[in-house]
Structure 1
């Protein structure tokens, strides 16, 4: 297959954390538009999936994050545009965030219950947001040892 025909994939991670009935989310600004998302981002070269999710949650929310389970692996393959593979990881967060500034583009870290999120005026960054919450509430949780890093 010619290299121009190979699919382009972005490998991302998302941290799924809940306190009571509310999920940890971020409000972010992308190209001038506000969106809601889980704390999430790209896996950097040399990072494991777990290293990446711990870093992303801290950078975007200032909460420490301890991974506890694998929620799922989500693939978006639109007819055009970038294809995304997102690994959603469940975890526990610290009681309080640290006092460092939020990552560039992040407006605020927020806790929202499912109903508030579903009825929010701010659009979701992608269908991954509600898919992950739906799967979490259905009890999906797999052992972290399913994730292997080969360096």
Structure 2
């Protein structure tokens, strides 16, 4: 028997939202490692929180926008260059209201509205390949009912 214990695989569980208004996508510009990158409003699932609640909360905290989830886009698995594994649960959402005076999360420089073409034009600025993959699936019409994500009680 081998006494060497394998490291435990523990992916970071994240949520992201695709919010569209007048053909533009709501994105955040973040300061990461001395650079500026673009991401969907996204973040980590917190203890005792549902994925849907996390998506709404992260969007508000990072952009000042209150949203209503309208569909589930999909689940995405990615390993960052440093070896960190991620599972991203992506939702489509409708913008409801904006609080321009709300302080944004640490590291968030600003919320921006970009066309898909503007986002696609500079792939080096994307925080991860998941940013475009999620948008591409959304633009291709990939939408599932919110009920596809079951919350066990």
- Distance in 1, matches of 2:141 and 2:132, equals 14
Once the two structures are TM-superposed, the CA of residue 30 in structure 1 deviates from its matched residue by 1.7
The C-alpha deviation readout for 1:19-54, integer Å capped at 9, x for no partner, is: 121100000012222110000000001100011011
Once the two structures are TM-superposed, the CA of residue 149 in structure 1 deviates from its matched residue by 1.8
Once the two structures are TM-superposed, the CA of residue 7 in structure 1 deviates from its matched residue by 1.9
- Is the contact between residue 80 and residue 86 of structure 2 (CA under 8 Å) also seen in structure 1? no
Alignment of 1:47-86 (within 5 A): 47-77=49-79, 81-86=83-88
- Is the contact between residue 16 and residue 89 of structure 2 (CA under 8 Å) also seen in structure 1? yes
- Distance in 2, matches of 1:29 and 1:117, equals 17
Identify unmatched segments of 5+ residues in structure 1: none
Distance 1:3 1:24, change over 3 A: farther
Once the two structures are TM-superposed, the CA of residue 58 in structure 1 deviates from its matched residue by 0.2
When the two chains are superposed, the root-mean-square deviation of aligned CA atoms in Å is: 2.0
Once the two structures are TM-superposed, the CA of residue 148 in structure 1 deviates from its matched residue by 1.5
TM-score, normalized by length of structure 2?
Answer: 0.90
- Segments of 4+ in structure 1 off by > 6 A? none
Once the two structures are TM-superposed, the CA of residue 99 in structure 1 deviates from its matched residue by 1.9
* Farther off after superposition, 121-130 or 24-33: 121-130
Identify unmatched segments of 5+ residues in structure 2: none
Q: Which residue of 2 aligns with 1:8?
A: 10
Q: Which residue of 1 aligns with 2:34?
A: 32
- Is the contact between residue 36 and residue 122 of structure 1 (CA under 8 Å) also seen in structure 2? no
Structure showing greater radius of gyration is 2
- Is the contact between residue 76 and residue 87 of structure 2 (CA under 8 Å) also seen in structure 1? yes
- Distance in 1, matches of 2:5 and 2:67, equals 38
